[in-house]
Amino acid sequence: MEQLLKFILGDNVLVYVLYCAPPLVFILLYALVTLYMEMKVAAHIQDRVAYMRTGWHGVLQPFADILKLIQKEDIIPTQADRALFILAPFLVFIGTYAGFAAVPFSPDYIGSNINLGVFYIVAASSIVVIGLLMSGWASNNKWSLLGAMRSAAQLVSYEIPTALTIVVVVMITGSLNLQEVIKAQEGGFFNWIIFGGAHAPLWQKIAMTPFTVTAFLILFTASLAEVNRTPFDLPEAESELVQGFNTEYSGMKFAVFYLAEYANMFLVSVVAVCLFLGGWQSPFGSAMSGPFWGIFWIVAKGMFFVFLQVWIRWTLPRLRVDQLMYTSWKVLTPFLFVCIFAVGLILVL
Amino acid sequence: MIESKLLPTEYVTKPGHIKTSTGKTLRTDEMIINMGPQHPSTHGVLRLEIVVDGEIVVDVIPHIGYLHRCFEKHAEAMTNYQQVIPYCDRMDYLASMNNDWGYALAVERMLKIEVPARVEYIRVIMAELQRIASHLIAVGTFGIDMGAFTPFLWAFRDREKILDLFEMTCGARLLYNYIWIGGVSHDLPSRFVEQAKEFCTYFRPKLVEFNNLLTYNEIFVKRTANVGVLPKDVALNYAVSGPTLRGSGMNFDLRKDDPYGVYDKFEWEVQVGKGEMGTLGDVWDRFIVKVREMEQSIKIVEQALAAIPEGNVQQAIPKRIRPDANEIYVRTESPRGELGFYIMSDGSSSPYRVKARGPAFVNLSVLPEISRGCMIADLVAIVGSMDIVLGEVDR
């Protein structure tokens, strides 16, 4: 795609700007779809129907929500730290959007083909922590501050399991670049890394599968914590914190926080999918595969895990903050050390 | 839970100091946080002033009175004892039938009126259905406090069926003015018994579903077991009653221990907490007592529907209520506990003094005692487990 754009426009700054546009366009469209999906999935789990009147079965409701948020009054508390207050939501969004640069949407399109790949994604999404802390502090509100501190602690501690699962995958594929990781999973469903990767003999696959499946489940759980979704949404929607670090935000800034949360949901889903479930590889091997089929597969798989995240949110209660930390440090991390050791052992033997 | 070998009271040695488990003392600063009158949780206008050290609650001071509506003073201004009943509805607005019955029973005992058998059965049916409706709100909103949004909507879906039954009978969904002194305001409509039986068969499997989703969920148990333990002697000293007391292991239910109406004709059991998931008297025990009480209420309703006699429900309603100068205290079991009415008359047709003993008010008083040393998230759980309704706390 880069070559195509250079052919049309010549070697120009505009080429690079257009090259970066697809993830942003994708995020905006995807947010609309996910807003609708969340509201309908929540409604059906709760034995009710959601909006039925704005458009057929409520399909225009996300537009209505966004229009409402855009035209709302932008309130900044008098005692709030203006610069930090205004900057915080955008920092959170930037942290997420930056991660999309290293996600390969198709065999031909990856925003930035660096060999750091997924390591860069984990590092860039740590910027979110700074944004959250800024919003909590700048709101001049004790509840927001509490929420932001809890959120920072939670995000930082769940980056450890995330990074360790990446180690598992890197041991199998030998590369951090997500394009290479996905290319090492070609050949259909049983060649995905969750079963041991395309280059492993059968006995290795059978031996590795329990550990890679565990690693994948831990990655999924840690990613729930990274996006502040139930059961880990204590910083955000706790009954006493009103809305946590979000409390004082209204209108467009709140919309940016919301957008950042949905973008983050997709980012962590798609990273999990790329690492373990084949990314843009078709599960049928060479049938239904190709540059445009690749986009379909990766988006479909990513959306499935977003759907899972929504499903879990409306089913489970939330963990208390110390239980959450206990889970990360004393449950997920030791299991992952075992997984890394076992996978390494199997690969060497 | 907090991994410390210190008891909650040892954790805070004196204001501004924390003793670590190695014995050193750290100087820290406490924060006073206000869980303001408007709660995102659904308890009503209660203000909790929390003195907090990091995440640990050092002290809780409840401030009430935001919903005080001078119920007792209004009762004195009424020209007739019957006119007080709508005020009783509005006291504990989630358990109107039980409130009405408590007051009507007190006046009937003062006047020594005998109500017909049909009225007694109708009252039991309405009171037990109201108990189920009230407990459904209690467990549903408690689920929301814990972050589970779905059980709340399932509870309200089932509660709608009960409210349909009430609306069919007396026209109102929340504040009924139904149980009058000497009888009830409307007889049961022709479809009531059949629809109520349908509801009983519909509701039992829904309770099982509810338990599978919330009550035995691992995360929910971890949030509620061993939290907010209320020992039996502390509960008795604070005059706690209702499911809060029964959750601490005390087998005391006014429907069995001080019977009124025709409760003694039915076969059912008092539900008592047993400390199944943690300590006896923790939040989970209080929760499971409410869930199990709903099953027992369905049992009572089914037995009452099968045995309800014919009769005229309005025949014992007195034309004029003018008791002798007398005073009486009558207590009944509302979904929150012991609801007592102390009525003093001076011989005229208007009450001289009506004092309502609200169970939620008394239950709330034990909150500071059991929440020292817990975390803020636990405090939300404890307040939710005591099932307070601010209308009754403030009157």
SS3 track for B158-218: HHHHHHHHHHHHHCCCCCCCCEECCEECCCCCCCHHHHHHHHHHHHHHHHHHHHHHHHCCH
Is residue B15 very low, low, confident or very high in pLDDT (cuts 50, 70, 90)?
Answer: low
- Asked whether residue B73 is domain-assigned, the answer is no
In this structure, which long-range contacts are made by residues A15-19, counting pairs with CB atoms below 8 Å and at least 24 apart in sequence? A19/A111
Q: Which 8-state DSSP code applies to residue A249? A: -
Per CB distance under 8 Å, which residues of B are interface residues toward A? 1-2, 31, 33, 35, 39-41, 55, 143-150, 153-154, 157, 213-214, 217, 219-220, 222-223, 375-380
Token representation of residue B172: 């109102």
C-alpha pair distances (Å), A261 with each of A32, A264, B326: 13, 5, 66
Closest CA to B179 of B102, B93, B116, B109: B102
Enclosing domain of residue B336 = 79-368
- Asked whether residue B54 is domain-assigned, the answer is no
Q: What is the complex's ipTM, to 2 decimals?
A: 0.84
CA nearest to A323 within chain B: B1
Closest CA to B279 of B241, B333, B230, B345: B230
- Asked whether residue A232 is domain-assigned, the answer is yes
pTM assigned to the model:
0.87
pLDDT at B347: 86
Rounded-to-integer distance, Cα A302 and Cα A311, Å:
14
The yes-or-no verdict on residue B13 having pLDDT over 70 is no
CA nearest to A236 within chain B: B147
Give every CB contact of residue A286 below 8 A, 6+ residues apart in sequence: none
pLDDT digits (tens, 9 = 90+) for B328-344: 999 999 999 999 999 99
- Asked whether residue B210 is domain-assigned, the answer is yes
- Asked whether residue A245 is domain-assigned, the answer is yes
- Asked whether residue B53 is domain-assigned, the answer is no
- Asked whether residue A2 is domain-assigned, the answer is no
Instruction: Kindly report the CATH number assigned to the domain that includes residue B274.
Output: 1.10.645.10
Enclosing domain of residue A251 = 22-348
- Asked whether residue A10 is domain-assigned, the answer is no
- As for how many domains chain B has, the answer is 1
- Asked whether residue A14 is domain-assigned, the answer is no
- Asked whether residue B155 is domain-assigned, the answer is yes
pLDDT digits (tens, 9 = 90+) for B47-70: 888 888 877 888 888 998 888 999
User: What element of type H or E holds B58?
Assistant: strand B56-63
The neighbouring-strand residues paired with B52 are: B31, B57
Inter-chain contact A240–B41, Cβ cutoff 8 Å?
A: yes
- Asked whether residue B61 is domain-assigned, the answer is no
- As for how many domains chain A has, the answer is 1
Residues in A touching B220 (Cβ below 8 Å): 317
pLDDT digits (tens, 9 = 90+) for A170-223: 888 888 888 888 888 877 777 787 777 777 788 888 888 888 899 999 999 998
pLDDT at B40: 66
pLDDT at B139: 93
Inter-chain contact A239–B380, Cβ cutoff 8 Å?
A: yes
